[in-house]
Structure formats: structure tokens, C-alpha cells
Amino acid sequence: MVAPSANSSSSLWGMKIQVPHRKYRSSPQLSFGRGGAGRGKFVVVALAPARNDGAVARSSSAAAAIASSSSTTTTALQTAMSRAKTATSSSSFLPPPVTTWTTANKSNIIDGHVDGDNLKLDFRSDFASEPAGGGVLVENGLVYRERVLVKSFEIGPDWKLTMGSLMKYFQDTALSHTACMGIVAEGFGWTPYMRSNNLCWVVTATHVVVNRYPSWGEVFQLDNWLYASGKNGLGNDWLIRDGKTGQVLVRATNCCVMMNKNTRRLSRFVQEVRDEFAPHFLTVSDSVAPRDKRKIQRVTIESADNVRTGLSPGWNDLDINYHVSNVKYIDWIIEGAPRWILESRELCGMTLEYKKECRIDDGGIQSLSKMVGKLEGDGVELEHSLCMEDGSEIMRARTSWRIKSNVRAPAPARCRTV
């Protein structure tokens, strides 16, 4: 079952509810994969949540329909259906669950100001012992929390999590959060009303402050919550804390607005969608990472200290809205920074303003950067512009860089004997 939404029975609040891991939430509960028996052949593995007769029935129906079209897979499908029917009695066959913690008093308000080290969200010692992966809903079901293990392919030359990897985690946890709400029909947080009216979410602004990057092998705790941002925006806040001590490592916020997928024009935050999200909004006095209110000036080729040309979007840079993912913009911004800064300093803060979507045929991207100030401890501040060949601006950014630390945490052993 899914996490309780605004329409859920009130008796659900105060219970510990098990829901399938997000990896297995699709319906029907059936997947295909290469099996060891018979090299090169496909076997069918049915995945059924515990005590969910509806999911088992859907799995059986789907498997039966596929079996009728191909006699060669009949045996494998019959085996899969048999396993699906008996899955409730075999805990080893079930996908890892996502636990939802709620309290008897469902409130949309957390007392106190939400800001960095003074954050009032509880750092649960019982959750700190949980393995990385999956997630929970805390604070009366309004905050999504996940424990994350830093992988080797997510780090840079300094053994630390990269800014691009951070942004991917922000996106993924926000989507997992909306999926847990039970109001998403498909896509990147598209509700039933949004899907029927060809609306999607696009990011307009992002602000990130990094106290310390998690290193390879570390486990960190990532919290995400939603709130209304102005008249037409949906605010997303994230807080990353050390998985052992609870120390605040990273604070981030962004603002999303709706876009019509057919006209590619921005849309107002229609009341129907606001009503779908409102029961899940967290009421806070300010963002966890308040934006820098200074205006970001446009950088031109004439005023730039560093120019990187020849950048172009590839097919793998697109997201499901068929435009370049906002994470790719960060890669282009960093490519436009001077090499001496990349080698001697680390990115510790950034403010991004997205001006225009970039699509697959928009080639010839230019990344321009200019140093605009010095920070404490030999830090520097840059302003950036991403522009197309025709001069139209895609994004502006301001980045802060501090002296790199050579201290790194070694990757701990993560194996155990069973």
C-alpha cells in the first residue's frame, strides 16, 4: 500500500505502514530479466507485495496474457505465477520495504524556524541504524527521509560527492516523496490533473550551500519537503546530514513552475493541482537555504574571463520532458570555470536562474564565466552565463569556491559474511 494521503482513513495515522520499495511500485508487478538457467534466454520474475491480493491477481493476469502469445515462455510464466501466489509466505522473495512513520496528530506545521544547524526536524537515532536505500516519511508524513551510501561512480578526483551527483539525489528524492504521497499519476510528479492537461514541472531557480561534501563510502541522511512558493511556484527543500552525527552538510532549495508540454509555455499554478498538493505542504517560515537576493549580471564574451565553446546537448542529456536536464546545466557551468579554480578550489555554493529550456537541436552552447569577487580564506566568486549561438541566454549562475581540503575519508569495507 502507499503512504497515507489526505484522503486516507484517519485510522491509518499512528500506524507503522509498510509500502513496497519505490523500485517495485509499477503495475503490473511483473518484470523480465536474464536468468541463469538457459544462457541468453529470458525468465519472468513476478514481484508481489506482502498481503496484497490485488497485486498478485494483477501479476497472474498479466502473466497469463503474455503466455497466450508465446508457448516457449509458458513454463517460466507458470512458475512466476505460482511464486506470486505464494510470495506472502516467503519473506526472502519480497522487495525491500519502505517504512512510513506517522503520528496520531497530523499537522502541517513544524514549530520553529527551519534553518541549517537550528533545524527543528528530529535526527532519529533509530533511523540512523537503518541500511542505506529506501526511505521513510517522518514529521507526520510531510518530510521524506532517505539514507544514502556514496558510490564510487558519484565522486570526483577528490574522492568527494560531486555537485552533479548531489543534484541527481535532490531530483530523485523529490520524486520518491511525491510518489509516496499517492497523488502522482506518472512522470516527474505529474498528478492526474496535470497528466490530463499536458502539464509538467520545470525548475526555474536553485540555491545550494555546501558545508562539507560526503566522501566515498560515507552514509548521509537526506530530508525533503514541499511548500507553496509564491503564487505560482512549488518549493522543494533538501537537507543533508552526516549519517552518524547529524551534522548539517548541505542545504538546498529550488522552485518549480508548471509548463504546458504542447505549447512549451509556462502555466499558472492552477487551483486543481494546488488542491492535490496542499495536504502535503510543510509550513515553514523560510527556506532552509534562503536565496542570495543580489542580481546576477549577464556575462558576455567581451566581459568574460573564461569562455568554453563547442558544448552541445546529446540524447542522453534529455529528461522525460524532452529538454536538457537541469543537472546537465551544472556540468556546463563547471566546464566554463577557469582550470586553476577547478584544480585548487571546490564549489561550496551556487545560485542558478534558468532562463530558457534547451532542446536536442540547440547546438553550439557557450559557457561564459567572470570573477566578480573574493571571499574569506582565499575563496572566489564567479558569475556565469550559458548562451546559444544566436545569443539567447539559457541560464545565469553565481558560484562560490573555497580552498580545497586534502582530507578524505577512506571507503570503509561494506561486506559481511553470511
Q: What is the DSSP string of 74-109?
A: HHHHHHHHHHHHTGGG-GGGSPPEEEEE--SS--SB
Active site residue 118: no
Instruction: Tell me which H or E stretch contains 174.
Output: helix 163-181
Strands 306-311 and 345-354 turn out to be unpaired
321, 326, 348, 384: which is the annotated catalytic residue? Answer: 321
The secondary structure of residue 298, as a DSSP letter, is P
Contact 384, 350 (CB under 8 A): no
Which triple of cell numbers denotes residue 260? 504546458
Tens digits of residue pLDDT in 340-368: 999 999 999 999 999 988 888 887 899 99
Check residue 229 and give its pLDDT. Answer: 86
Which triple of cell numbers denotes residue 247? 551534522
User: CA triplet 96, 99, 103: central angle to 5 degrees?
Assistant: 175
Average pLDDT, the chain: 74
180, 200, 348, 358: which is the annotated catalytic residue? Answer: 358
Tell me, yes or no, if the two domains 14-20+96-291 and 296-418 fold the same way: yes
Instruction: Tell me which H or E stretch contains 53.
Output: helix 53-67
Report in angstroms the alpha-carbon separations of 81 from 19, 21, 45, 77, 363: 21, 21, 9, 6, 49
Contact 45, 28 (CB under 8 A): no
Exposed / middle / buried, residue 46 (Cβ in 10 Å: 0-12, 13-18, 19+)? buried
CA 22 and chain centroid, separation: 13
Exposed / middle / buried, residue 262 (Cβ in 10 Å: 0-12, 13-18, 19+)? exposed
User: CA triplet 336, 175, 97: central angle to 5 degrees?
Assistant: 130
177, 207, 323, 384: which is the annotated catalytic residue? Answer: 323
pLDDT < 50 positions in the chain: 1-74, 76-77, 80-118
For the chain, give every domain's residue range: 14-20+96-291, 22-94, 296-418
Check residue 133 and give its pLDDT. Answer: 62
Helix orientation angle between 74-85 and 53-67, rounded to the nearest 10 degrees: 170
The secondary structure of residue 285, as a DSSP letter, is S
Dihedral-angle region of residue 262 (phi above 0 means left; psi in -120 to 50 means alpha; beta otherwise): alpha
Amino acid code (one letter) for 62 = A
For cell 526511505, name the residue: 135
Check residue 121 and give its pLDDT. Answer: 60
Check residue 118 and give its pLDDT. Answer: 47
Whole-prediction pTM: 0.69
Active site residue 358: yes
Check residue 407 and give its pLDDT. Answer: 62
Report in angstroms the alpha-carbon separations of 263 from 103, 111, 312: 43, 42, 24
Check residue 217 and give its pLDDT. Answer: 92
d(CA 130, CA 125): 9
In CATH, the number for domain 296-418 is: 3.10.129.10
* Domain 14-20+96-291 = CATH 1.10.150.120: no
What are the φ/ψ torsions at residue 75 (nearest 5 degrees)? -60, -45
